[in-house]
Structure 1
C-alpha cells in the first residue's frame, strides 16, 4: 500500500436504465447547495470552469493524475496505468501519476480538492459528482462532450443540475451475488429465483457446514450494498431514491422493514463482519468456507485465481409486486479538479480517457471485469463475467449508483456508516437506530 507523501490524492448501459436513475437524482439535487457549508467551499456553480481554480495551463504540459488505487493493488490500478501509458504514447505528453489506496483517497477527498489537487482525478457519477460541482470543486468540462461512442444516457450521468458536464464515464459494473460454480455444482445448488428458493438454499448451505453469505464491513461501505438491494427489493426503486434524497423518512415503516429483514438474514452471514475486510470475505468464498458473496464485480481483484470459476446472480425478489429489476451498477470515471494547475492539459487527457481507444487499452492492460462506458470499445477480450455483467445491467429496469454515491457525502460517511455498523452490532435496536438516522438527516438535509 502506497502512502501519500503530500496532500495530493489521487456494449454500454441502455439509455432508459441510466436516464431513469439520473433524472430521479437530478430532481432532488436542486437542494444540494447545502454542500457549501459541509465542504467549506463556495456553493456557486459560477466558480467552476476552465479559468477557475488552478488556472488554464498548457495542453502540452505535464498532467497530474490522482488515482484512487495504490500501485500494485490489482486490476483497477492496472487499468488506469494502461490508459495513462496509451495517452503518453499517443501524444508524447507526460502524466504524473499520484496513486493512493482507495480508502485514504475517499476519506481525504474534500481536503485534497480544496488544497493543491492533481488536475484529473478518479471519481463517480451520481449525487457525489454533482455535489462537488455545486461547490465549485470540479471544473465544467462541457467542451469535452460529445464523446464519440458515449450514449446520451452516460452524458446525463455526467451532468450536474446546472445542465453542464463535469465527468467522463469510463466503466461500470453491477453488484450481484457471486459464487463459485464448482461449489454449486458439487452440491447441486442453483441460483435462487425467489425468496423461497433463497431461504432453501441458505438452509441447505448451513446444513452442510457452509456459511451462506461471506460478509465483511471493516471499511464501512460494503454493507451499504446490502441495504441498497434489500430496500429496492422491499420498497422499490423510487422509494430508494427518495430516501437517498432525504425526501423519505428513515424512521418509516418501510425502512424499519428493511432492517428487520436484514436482521433475519444475519444468521446466514459471517459473524463479526466489522473485523473483516471485503477482501478477506472474498477469500472465504474462494476457499469454500462461504457459499455466496453480495458485492460488485471488483470482487475479482481479491480472488483473481478463481475468476474462471466465478458466476453470479442478481438478488432475487422478496416481494412479487416489486420484483427484482433494480440493482446497483455504479459508474466510475474521472473529473477535472477546479484547483488543478493544468486545466487545458487535464481536458485534453479527459477527451482521450472517454474514447474507445482508451477503453481498449484499459481492457487489454488488466484482467478486470469492468464494462467499458464507450459503446465502440472492443469486447473481444471480455471475460464471461464481463459479458454477463453487460447483459444483466442491460436487462435492468432501474439503476442506482450505490448508497454513498446517491446521497449527500457527509450523510453517507458520518451518519450511515456508523448507523449500519451499530445495527450489525445490535440488530435488535431498529427503532433507536432509525430514529437517530432520521434526526441526523434533518440537520444535514
Structure 2
C-alpha cells in the first residue's frame, strides 16, 4: 500500500467522524510507511563489471527468475569494466550495493583488510561449497573465512596445434628437459619454439609464475607474493637459472617486447610457432574454423615430485559489508551458484567453472581444463592478481627485462627487493 492510496478528508463531516477519519488516516499512513519499509527490505541491488553482452543477458534472466520466485526486486547496474575498478573503491564505502562482481586473490584481500566485504562462511557451510570447489575455495578464503564466491576461471598452461604435432610426430613436453628438446625440433622446422609477446608485460610474469610454482611450490610462491620472502632469497636462484637457460637456448620469440599476446597467438595459429603459454582466450587469435585444432597441456615438470600447482585466475562475486540486504543477497547467491545456472553464466565467455559438478561445456578447451584441474593440488591466481599492485607493476617490468637481458638478473632482483621493502614495509 502507498500513501497516495489514502483518500483525502472531505469538508462538512461531523467532528467525531472527522476525528475518527484523521485517526484512521494516521494508522493507514503508518501502515503505508511500514509497507514501504518492507518493500525496501525486499530489494536487491547488484553492480556488475561484465562487458560480455551475452553474459549480461544470462545474469538478467537469472535475476528475473529469482525475482519471480522470491518477490525480491532485483536491480542490476552494469558498469564499464575499467571504470568499475575505480568506482568500487568509493561505492563500497558510501553507497554499497547488496552484491558486486570483482576479482579474487590479492585484489579481494585488499577490501577484506578494510572490512568492506562480508564474511559469507555461513553460506559456504550451508551449501557445502567446499566439497565441490576444491582448490578454488582458497581464492576467496582469508584466515579460514570465505568472503566471496569464485566465478569463471582461466587455467594457464601450454597450448599447441594438434595438426602440427601430429604432422611432425611431436609429443607435448612433460618435463622442462623435454621442452628444450622440443624447442630444438621446432627450430629445425623453422618455427619459434614458444610464441611470446611481452609488449603488455604480463605474459612474462605468467612464465615466472610457472617456473616458481614448479620449483618452489605454492607456499613459497605465495610468501613472495605476500611480501614475506625476499626477491634475493636463495630459493629463487634455480628459478632464474633455469629461466635464463631457456632464454639463452632461443626458446622464445625474438624481439618479443614489440608484440602483444594477440600477435603471439596469431603466430601459433599461423603455424609459425610450436607452443604458447596462455589461457583459453588464446582461441581469439585463431580463425573460428581452426579453433578445434587448439590443444592444451599443463606446464611441464621441473622439480621431480613437486605437486601440481597452477595459475587458475578467478573472478568472483561478493556481498559488501555495508550492504542493506545481506539476507536476500545470500539467497540470490545460492540460486545463482546452482551448477546449471553458474554453467549457463560461464558458458558465454568460455570460462572454466570452479565447481566440479557443473555440466560439461560445449567448448572442448574448457572441458580439457576441467579435466586437468582434477590433478591440481592447489592454485595461485596470476602474478599481478596475487601481489600488491605497485609491486606487480615493478615485477612485470623486471620479468620483461630479464627475458631480454638475462645478464641483468642481479640488478633486476635487487631493484625488486628494494621495491618489496618499500611496499611491504619490511
TM-score where L is the length of structure 2: 0.77
Q: Counterpart of 2:156?
A: 175
Contact 2:62 2:336 in 1 (8 A): no
Change (3 A) 1:437 1:187: same
1:408 is the counterpart of 2:392: no
**Aligned-partner Cα distance in 1 for 2:94–2:391:** 23
2:208 to 227, 232, 248: 227
Decide whether the 8 Å contact of 2:155 with 2:352 is kept in 1.
Answer: no
Matched-pair contact (CA < 8 Å) for 2:180–2:251: no
Q: 2:196 touches 2:256 (CA, 8 Å); kept in 1?
A: yes
Question: Following TM superposition, by how much is the alpha carbon of 1:259 offset from its aligned partner in structure 2, in angstroms?
Answer: 2.8
Output aligned runs, 1:35-434, within 5 Å.
58=40, 60-61=42-43, 63-67=45-49, 69-71=50-52, 78-79=54-55, 81-92=57-68, 93-101=73-81, 110=89, 113=92, 119-146=98-125, 148=127, 150-152=129-131, 153=134, 155=137, 157-161=139-143, 163-266=144-247, 267-303=250-286, 305=288, 306-320=290-304, 322-323=305-306, 325-338=308-321, 346-363=329-346, 365-366=347-348, 368=350, 370-379=351-360, 381-413=361-393, 415-434=394-413
CA distance in structure 1 between the partners assigned to 2:267 and 2:96 by the alignment: 38
The aligned residue for residue 440 of structure 1 is: 419
Larger displacement relative to structure 2 (435-444 or 349-358): 349-358
How far apart are 1:426 and its partner, in Å?
A: 3.1
Partners of 2:302 and 2:172 lie apart in 1 by 15
Aligned residues: 377
Tell me, in whole angstroms, the C-alpha distance in 2 between the residues paired with 1:420 and 1:80.
36
Is the helix fraction higher in 1 or 2?
A: 2
Partner SS, residue 250 of structure 1: coil
For residues 243-280 of structure 1, what are the alpha-carbon distances to aligned partners after superposition, in whole Å with 9 as ceiling and x for unaligned?
A: 22322220123324323432332332223333433233
Give 1:433 shift.
Answer: 0.7
RMSD: 3.1
Distance 1:228 1:106 in 2: 24
Bigger relative contact order (CA 8 A; separation at least 6)? 1
Pair 143,396 (structure 1): closer, same or farther in 2 beyond 3 Å: closer
TM-score by length of 1: 0.74
The 1:99/1:199 distance shift into structure 2, 3 A limit, reads: same
Query: Does the aligned pair in 2 maintain the 1:174–1:296 contact within 8 Å?
Result: yes
Unaligned runs of 5+ in 2: 1-37
8 Å CA contact 2:46–2:75 kept in 1: the answer is yes
Q: Given that residues 214 and 302 in structure 2 are in contact (C-alpha distance below 8 angstroms), is that contact kept between their aligned partners in structure 1? A: yes
CA shift at 1:149, angstroms?
A: 6.0
The whole-number CA distance in structure 2 between the counterparts of 1:63 and 1:143 is: 21
Q: CA deviation at 1:282?
A: 1.8
Q: Is residue 121–residue 145 contact of structure 2 (8 Å, CA) maintained in 1?
A: yes
Q: Decide whether aligned partners of structure 1 residues 337 and 423 sit closer, same or farther in structure 2, where only a CA change above 3 A counts.
A: farther
Larger Rg: 2
